[in-house]
Structures are given as C-alpha cells and as structure tokens.
C-alpha cells in the first residue's frame, strides 16, 4: 500500500475545480443534509467550503452546534499533553524539535521525572493524558515509550491518578503497535501534517519522517495490530486548507472502507511560531479565523460522530468561539516541553508557542460559565466502547446516555478535590442546570452517580 492508494490528488483538484458555480442555495441544501447527522461526501464538503455570506455562515455554524449537542450534549472532554522527550531524528522545517535546531535544550525524562510530571498533572485534576515524544528516543529505543506509559499508570497521588493515557509518537512497525496495544493505551494519535505530496517533501527534508508512505500507512498498521481508537489531523498552514480537508476525508474513507471504522478524533492545529523555524514564523498558507471556523463546522457535519480536538495553540478567545462550532475535546493548562509541569523552564525546550496560557482551573471555570460540562471521563476505554462498539452507540444517539452522566460525575469529582472556591460555585450551578435539562431517566442515573461521588467514592462511571 502507498500514498496513491489512499490520497488521489488529481481527484481532489477536479472536485475543487467543479465548485466555481456553487450558489448559496446549494450550500444551504448541504447544510440541511448535514443536520440529518449521516455525514457528507467529498462533493458536499467542497460545497460547504464555498460559504462566505454572513447568512450562510450563520446557518453552517448553527448546524454544527446542533449536531454536536444532539450527539454528545454540552459535555466537553478535558485533557493535557505530557512531553516526555524532545529528542528527534527528523528535520521538519516547521518544528522546534527538528534535529539540527540548536536553539532549544534537548532532554528526555527519566522514569522518576515522568512520575513527577504525572503527579503535577494529577494535582491539577487531570485524568486524561496525551503522552507525546519527539521522533527519537533514548538509547533503549521504543521500549522507553512503553515504560513511560507504565510509569504514568502506576503513579497514584493524593486524590487521584491518570486513568487513560493516549499516545502521540512516531509511526511504528506492526509488532511495535501490538506492544503499544498491550500497554492498554487509549487513542493512538498521528498527524500526516500535510497530505500534499510536494509540500510534504518541501518541509520534511531529512529523517524517517520524510517517508510519506511510511507515515500515511501507520494507521493501517495500528488497526491491524488491534488499536481501533485512532486520532488523525492536519497541521493547517503548510498547504491550502481546502485541499487538506478533502485529502483528510479521503484518508477517513480509506479507513472506513478497509476496517469498517474511521478515526475516533480529528485534531485541527494551526501552524504557530516555533523557536528556530522561519516557516513557523511566516506561515506558507495562513488560515484566517473565518476559514478556521468553517473547518471546524464542516468537520462536525461531515463526520458527526468523530471527536474534534482543539489545543492550546489557539487563544482563549478562539477556543471559546470554537465550542459552538462542534469542538468536543480541548487540552488545558498545557506545556509543550519535557518537565514543563513540575519545573520552571529556564531554557527554551518547547515544540511551539501557546496561544492559551491559562491554568486548568481557569479554563474549567470559563467553559462551565458558558454552560458546558467539563468531562474527565475515561469510561468508554475501560468498558471496551471503542472502534465499532463506540460507533454502534454513537450513530443511533445512545452514547449521550453515557457521556452526560459520566461528564457530571467526573466534573463533580474535580470540583470536590481540586477546584478553587470560585470554580466550585460556578461548577455547581452548571451541574444543576445540566440535570434540570436531562431526560428524567438519565437524570436519575446521574444524580445517583453524583451522590456516590459526594459520599466519597471516586471513578464512578457507566
């Protein structure tokens, strides 16, 4: 299998060329189809990209909010990345971790330092972690990542622990993916960065990452190894966003056609400044805020049951606006350098610049005040609701019966164990409002779970 078997660039260009005569009514018709929550095809996605008038954009954004809240309710999953190493053998011109960049301090955490970082995240209140590493490891090689995952799971501290570790590391062999599966990870996340063949090789000039085919087929190997919970994404800004969107959908279609399920999450990072990177300072194909909003809304209509992740690359203002556009997961209180949670950074070792520097408690208070329920739930992973089993619940709308109660119980746990007094006040109001709007049967279940948390139980989920 190779790139041509997954991404058809000529087809993408033909689709884009056929959009020159699209009318506002054409766009509105597709928006209406998207509200049916059955997904969209490539032509429909391309039509939505042509939305420009205020009236049509308003209809698009309203539909995205409707679909997200119909499927998942107003819960918002919270997580944090933990960078265990910034060693890298690749030369990716947009990334501070690139091998020949001497402007940052290189470091890999020891297992005790991994435990210290884990305790720092637990003290914030986190339950979900995305473990991230540069694409090179210390002398022991890939087993280092497995040891890090094991260390995180075995670190218990005061009130809590990290209950689910998702992983973003370099593409692996089939056997290595099997080992990663055996480590009980949650999601394996990997971004193609750009699907455009020429642009990919223009920005990846050395190292194994230059091999486009090895990277784009990594999710196939993960699926074949039994990892059915996958996260994909594009680094928007390396090439035209319209091309990237259609290529992304070709990749999704490939996974659905070959394995019966698509990705569990899609991330939408935009290129941000990075130490030692001229490209990151001067984005080749900058994505405007309006187009970025369209990207998120179109994704929600096109793949309605897939989680959409927005990171702290974006500003607090952009992140607030995104919550009404279909985003269902956000990172909070993030650091992008090894040791960033437990130590003060004296020398720059971060991967990129952050747009949202707020600590977790402030983010939680902010989203709760907007009527969203912060969720630290990890129940689906531990009950086996991943891959096809998750979709069997999501497509008929039944996953919300689990998401809403689990969000409230984990939020209640956060409020008791970690929240500031101001956040507790806001959070209790949010929980009360969410309960008042629930279906009576689901409300009874939620109230019982919340009562268990208040009585001292932890990790209550259904």
R_g (Cα) of the chain, nearest Å? 21
Which of 191, 187, 168 minimizes the C-alpha distance to 248? 191
Helix %, strand %, coil % for the chain, to 5? 50, 10, 40
What CATH number belongs to 69-381?
Answer: 3.20.20.70
Q: Which DSSP symbol is given to 234?
A: B
Report the phi/psi class of residue 450: left, alpha or beta, with left for phi > 0 and alpha for psi in -120 to 50.
Answer: alpha
Positions in the chain short of pLDDT 50: none
| pTM for the full predicted model | 0.94
Sign of the alpha-carbon torsion through 224, 233, 66, 399: positive
- 8 Å CB contact between 19 and 46: yes
Model pLDDT, residue 128: 97
Residues of the chain with CATH 3.20.20.70: 69-381
CA–CA distance, 245 with 46 (Å, rounded to integer): 9
Query: Residue 2 has what pLDDT?
Result: 61
Q: How many C-beta atoms lie closer than 10 Å to residue 54's C-beta? A: 8
Task: Write down the pLDDT at residue 396.
Answer: 62
Alpha helices in 109-236 (DSSP H): 111-124, 143-153, 174-182, 197-203, 212-216, 218-224
The predicted pLDDT at position 315 comes to: 93
């Amino acid at each position: 299998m190779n790139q041509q078997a997954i991404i058809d660039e000529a087809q993408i260009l033909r689709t884009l060329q056929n959009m020159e005569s699209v009318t506002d009514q054409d766009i509105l018709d597709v928006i209406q189809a998207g509200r049916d929550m059955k997904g969209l095809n490539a032509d429909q996605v391309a039509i939505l990209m042509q939305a420009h008038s205020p009236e049509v954009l308003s209809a698009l954004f309203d539909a995205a909010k409707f679909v997200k809240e119909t499927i998942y309710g107003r819960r918002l999953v919270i997580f944090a990345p933990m960078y265990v190493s910034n060693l890298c053998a690749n030369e990716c011109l947009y990334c501070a971790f690139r091998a020949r960049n001497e402007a940052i301090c290189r470091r890999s955490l020891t297992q005790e330092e991994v435990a210290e970082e884990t305790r720092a995240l637990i003290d914030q209140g986190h339950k979900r972690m995305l473990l991230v590493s540069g694409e090179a490891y210390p002398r022991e090689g890939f087993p280092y990542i497995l040891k890090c995952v094991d260390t995180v799971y075995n670190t218990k501290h005061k009130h809590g622990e990290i209950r689910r570790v998702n992983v973003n590391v370099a593409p692996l062999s089939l056997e290595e993916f099997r080992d990663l599966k055996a480590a009980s990870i949650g999601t394996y996340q990997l971004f193609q960065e750009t699907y455009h063949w020429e642009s990919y090789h223009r920005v990846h000039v050395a190292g194994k990452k230059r091999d486009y085919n090895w990277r784009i087929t990594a999710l196939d190997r993960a699926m074949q190894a039994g990892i059915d919970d996958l996260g994909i994404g594009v680094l928007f800004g390396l090439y035209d966003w319209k091309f990237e969107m259609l290529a992304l959908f070709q990749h999704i279609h490939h996974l659905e056609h070959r394995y019966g399920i698509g990705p569990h999450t899609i991330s939408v990072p935009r290129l941000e400044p990075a130490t030692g990177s001229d490209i990151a300072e001067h984005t080749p194909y900058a994505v405007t805020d309006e187009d970025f909003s369209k990207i998120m809304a179109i994704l929600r209509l096109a793949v309605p049951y897939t989680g959409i992740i927005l990171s702290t690359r974006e500003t607090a203002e952009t992140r607030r606006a995104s919550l009404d556009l279909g985003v269902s997961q956000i990172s909070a209180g993030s650091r992008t350098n090894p040791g960033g949670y437990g130590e003060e950074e004296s020398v720059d070792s971060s991967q990129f610049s952050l747009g949202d520097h707020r600590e977790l408690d402030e983010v939680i208070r902010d989203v709760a005040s907007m009527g969203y329920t912060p969720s630290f739930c990890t129940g689906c992973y531990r009950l086996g609701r991943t891959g096809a089993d998750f979709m069997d619940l999501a497509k008929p709308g039944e996953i919300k019966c689990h998401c809403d109660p689990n969000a409230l119980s984990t939020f209640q746990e956060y409020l008791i164990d970690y929240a500031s007094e101001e956040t507790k006040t806001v959070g209790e109001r949010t929980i009360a409002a969410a309960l008042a709007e629930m279906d009576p049967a689901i409300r009874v279940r939620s109230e019982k779970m919340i009562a268990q948390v208040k009585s001292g139980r932890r990790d209550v989920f259904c």
